[in-house]
Amino acid sequence: MQRLVSVLRQDGVDKELIHLVNVLGTACKEINFRLHQGALAGVLGSTQDENVQGEVQKKLDVIANTLLKDLLLQSGLVKALASEEEDDIVIGNKDGDFLVSFDPLDGSSNIDINAMVGTIFSVYRADDSLVIDESSFLRPGREQVAAGYVIYGPATLMVLTTGQGVRMYTLDQTIGEYLMTEPQVQVPADTQEFAINMSNQRHWAKPMQDYIDDLLKGAEGPRGKNFNMRWVAAMVADVHRILCRGGLFTYPWDRRAPEKAGKLRLMYEANPMALLIEQAGGAASTGTERILDIQPEQIHQRVAVVLGAANEVDMVEQYYRHQR
């Protein structure tokens, strides 16, 4: 099995980006260790503090954020970074080549029940500007030069794209290296499986309610086939399932917070996952537009998400078009 660095070299990825991916992988190995220590290390539970999202932080949210931030800044490769757990961007090396956005511990509400969580990251080339501020990050997702996640489950895996398809790497705990275990991830265009939080159904816009209603009618309904539903309550886990065996994931807008476009964050959740899904042959949309074409307005911007099987994403968009 090939090591992560060897595969990236074969793909012609430049050495600075390889180094950056290696730094991200190192930070995630340390996060993985802390997670697996769990209650033995006293890292479970909440801090009682809130992040910029208004969400109560878990102890491991803070630990994961600090590990990633410190290692990225120490590398000298990063001009600035943005995190779900930081109010503002964090300035790094003025000569750094990259801008990095990340969700340090996606699905952290699952920590205390020992369910799957993960780290999501997004990488852009930094420009030559001497001024670095929030506007430096406000670029469409199609400009990402790398994106991926590390999922902490029964095995720890890195799923990565540098624009040449999607590969999966399993962390070999005996040697501390990520080894390629899936060289070409593909998302089938059709599916009979979807992931959504059904408890919010009454709050969705009518197109999404109609779409899900038709799925639930099964073979007797307008879709003419039965669908299964899965829901892990961690985006990284639900998207990982799609990359492993296909499906559709959606977290739509709902009327409880009508001023927000959705729940998930564009810069460090939707964009990196959209790039992975598209690189694997799937599609990613808000229901009305391609996620990777959205021009961000601020680093913590939220967005509705529909991604996975290309034909099913297209079907969701048809429901939205018919309701206009």
Assigned fold of 4-182: Fructose-1,6-Bisphosphatase; Chain A, domain 1 (3.30.540)
Which range (181-185, 305-309, 319-323) has the least confidence?
Answer: 319-323
Structural domain spans, the chain: 4-182, 193-322
Quick one: CATH architecture of 193-322?
Answer: 3-Layer(aba) Sandwich (3.40)
Q: Is 114 annotated as a binding residue?
A: no
Q: Is 269 annotated as a binding residue?
A: yes
Checking if the pLDDT of 52 tops 90, the result is: no
| Residue at 288: amino acid letter | T
3-state class (DSSP) for residue 159: strand
Same CATH fold assignment for domains 4-182 and 193-322: no
Position 53 confidence tier, pLDDT thresholds 50, 70, 90: low
What local confidence, expressed as pLDDT, does residue 47 receive?
59
Mean of the pLDDT values across residues 232-244? 96
3-state class (DSSP) for residue 156: strand
For residue 38 the two structure tokens come to 């769990």
What local confidence, expressed as pLDDT, does residue 54 receive?
54
Q: Is 278 annotated as a binding residue?
A: no
Checking if the pLDDT of 51 tops 70, the result is: no
Q: Is 103 annotated as a binding residue?
A: yes
Output the CA torsion 209→210→214→217 (10° steps). 60
Mean of the pLDDT values across residues 157-185? 97
Which range (32-41, 97-106, 129-138) has the least confidence?
Answer: 32-41
Mean of the pLDDT values across residues 112-123? 92
What local confidence, expressed as pLDDT, does residue 324 receive?
58
Q: Is 297 annotated as a binding residue?
A: no
List the one residue out of 158, 163, 155, 90 whose CA is nearest residue 124.
Answer: 163
Q: Is 108 annotated as a binding residue?
A: yes
CA distance 86 to 259: 22
What local confidence, expressed as pLDDT, does residue 222 receive?
96
What local confidence, expressed as pLDDT, does residue 298 receive?
96
| Residue at 131: amino acid letter | V
Mean of the pLDDT values across residues 234-250? 97
182-211 pLDDT, tens digit per residue, is: 999 999 999 999 999 999 999 999 999 999
Mean of the pLDDT values across residues 29-34? 94
Q: Is 226 annotated as a binding residue?
A: no
Euclidean distance between the first and final Cα of the chain, in Å?
A: 51
What local confidence, expressed as pLDDT, does residue 258 receive?
83
Position 49 confidence tier, pLDDT thresholds 50, 70, 90: low
Mean of the pLDDT values across residues 207-217? 97
CA distance 76 to 95: 8
CA 25 to chain centre: 15
More confident residue, 278 or 43: 278
Q: Is 153 annotated as a binding residue?
A: no
271-297 pLDDT, tens digit per residue, is: 999 999 999 999 999 999 999 999 999
DSSP for residue 222: T
Q: Is 263 annotated as a binding residue?
A: yes
pTM of the complete model: 0.94
54-102 pLDDT, tens digit per residue, is: 565 678 889 999 999 999 999 999 999 999 999 999 999 999 999 999 9
Spell out the SS3 assignment of 56-92: EEEHHHHHHHHHHHHHHHHHCCEEEEEECCCCCCEEC
Mean of the pLDDT values across residues 263-276? 97
Q: What is the percentage of the chain residues whose pLDDT exceeds 70?
A: 95
Q: Is 106 annotated as a binding residue?
A: yes
Mean of the pLDDT values across residues 315-320? 97
